Amino acid sequence: MTIHRIMGYICGATFAIVATGSHFVLAQDQEEEIILPDPTEILSDTLVVQNQSDNRSVNSQDKISNLSNETQELLGEYRLVLQQIDRLIRYNDYVERLIEDQETQIVDINNQLEEFSLIERGIVPLMLDSIETLDKFIDLDVPFLLEERKSRVARLRTIMDQADITVSEKYRQIMDAYQIETSYSSDIESYTAFLEVEGETRQVDFLRVGRTSLTYQTPDQDETGFWNKQTGTWESLPRKYTDYVKEGLRIANKQITPDLIQLPIEAPGENQ
């Protein structure tokens, strides 16, 4: 529309110039000839200006679009940052609560450690006395599995001097040793070991019935004996006990079903 209007103006001007041109030429033909611009060039220049204006408008619109897009992107990033800040604030609150709880636990643990130190100073001497008592008890008890039982006591003495083992673990192992010793009073057992009798060492089969009776028998069944609690020595048994001890060994080894057997035991009140 603008181009058409401009072209109309140019055409009108050109017609006016052409109509009056003769007067100028006639009036001034004596002085100089007037050269008028070419209308085509004027139209071309006008089109160039219009194109440049249109290009600038397009560029401006592109810039506006780009700025709008950048604004939307920045707005999205801003909202994302706000969300992250909100999450960080909530997380920091959570961490602060954890720290407060940990500080409370540290105080409780320190108090418990102080109490434990007091208890440890009292319980450790009792543990040492328990080990010594157990060792003396084994010495005074029926002499079965002496090597195993003495090794257990030696192990307890060793762990008491080890710093990498907690007091609770030391106490547990001492209690385990006492429980093992207690279990010996109510079971029946057979085992093979070496026995020295009258200066001669020989391999024999032992039969233990609780702590009531401890007997032995040679593999060829040529000799059978028992531990005499009153004299604290090993003594031979009459021949009639050979089959009884043999049957007891078979019961202990689960080779036959349990049955009544005759074994030498200490009568109540004999040791008084």
Digit-coded pLDDT (tens) for 22-37? 444 444 444 555 666 6
pLDDT at 68: 80
Exposure b/e, 233-263, CB count within 10 A at least 16 = b: ebeebeeebeebbebbbbbbeeeeeeeebeb
pLDDT at 69: 83
Task: Tell me the torsion sign for CA atoms 210, 215, 216, 221.
Answer: negative
pLDDT at 38: 66
pLDDT at 196: 84
pLDDT at 54: 67
DSSP state of 234: E
pLDDT at 266: 63
pLDDT at 36: 60
> What is the mean pLDDT of each successive set of 10 residues along the chain, which is 272 residues long?
46 44 43 62 70 72 79 87 90 91 90 78 90 95 94 96 91 95 92 85 92 92 90 89 90 85 63 42
Give 188's strand partners.
Answer: 209
How is residue 165 written in tokens?
Answer: 């083992």
pLDDT at 267: 53
Strand, coil or helix: what is 257?
Answer: coil
- Phi, psi (5° rounding) for residue 161? -100, 5
pLDDT at 15: 43
Are the beta carbons of 2 and 8 closer than 8 angstroms?
A: no
